[in-house]
Amino acid sequence: MDKQRFNPYNTTCPASGSMFLGRQDLVHKALASQGSFATVGFPRMGKSSLLKAVAQAAQESGVTVAYLPLAGSDEAELAGHIDHYLLRQDGRMRDAAIATGAGLQRLLSGVDRYCQERADDHEPGASKVMIILDETERLFRDQAVVEVLGAMGQELQHVRMVYTLFPSVYAEMQGSSSRFDRTITHPALLPFDEAQTGRLVRLCESEDVLRQAAGARVDEYRMSPWMIEDDAAAKVYRQTGGFPCLIQGLMGAALDAVETGQVTL
């Protein structure tokens, strides 16, 4: 099944609704935050898609964006992303793009200084930069990285970081730094009932189960994934304990099956 079916933050979707955290709202929260901004969720929950949507919305708002996918990245690859997306005029930054606590500190400090210099020169659009770090699980298991974020979160004037976290890593970070809670904000992507949410996700991932439970309606949802009933968000909220990332194409069919008793969570 196409993983993109599980992407409520598709850039072609307005992403609105009472239980829906829209991408424009995420950008505003991230830019207003005094520290970093995390999207917390389980594997295949759309965290990367969310970050890319936030990046696009930020660019549309005039914010300079650097998107850094960190999974398997080495120093040269990171430097290439930095050079291409953000600092083509400043080759000195290439050596700072290292996926370690010290390297992250140099990167953030350097970008902040770079932005300050451009802002001092009254260069339009130079005052805000959003660094989006994807696949950060390995990176944020490094205690030094957590300490860097805690120490620098309040100091950076021009840089905001947005990144992904598994719930387990987020919990580890909370327990490892007394300053962490004051420097990290995050949207409500973490379900209150992890087990129930997991079962619902597995149900949505099963084509056979959906076809058996929902019949022909599964094709309706697949062909028009956003043509779902108005109260779908409330249904998802009730069924999952509050996981807006699960408002998506096949969710309507799954919830229909659950509510009619054809499938038990």
Q: What is the pLDDT of residues 193-233, one digit of tens each?
A: 445 545 655 665 565 665 565 555 555 554 443 333 444 44
Task: Write down the pLDDT at residue 3.
Answer: 30
Task: Write down the pLDDT at residue 226.
Answer: 37
Q: Which domains does the chain have, with CATH numbers?
A: 7-185 (3.40.50), 194-259 (no CATH)
Task: Write down the pLDDT at residue 62.
Answer: 72
**Cα–Cα separations (whole angstroms), residue 130 to 36, 157, 210:** 10, 12, 39
Quote the pTM value: 0.48
Task: Write down the pLDDT at residue 132.
Answer: 73
> Please, what are the averages of pLDDT over each run of 10 residues along the chain (265 residues)?
33 31 51 58 57 68 68 52 44 43 66 69 59 68 63 64 60 52 42 47 59 56 42 46 40 60 64
Task: Write down the pLDDT at residue 112.
Answer: 72
Task: Write down the pLDDT at residue 133.
Answer: 72
**How far apart are the C-alpha atoms of 123 and 139, rounded to whole Å?**
33
Strands 184-185 and 36-40, bridge-based pairing: parallel
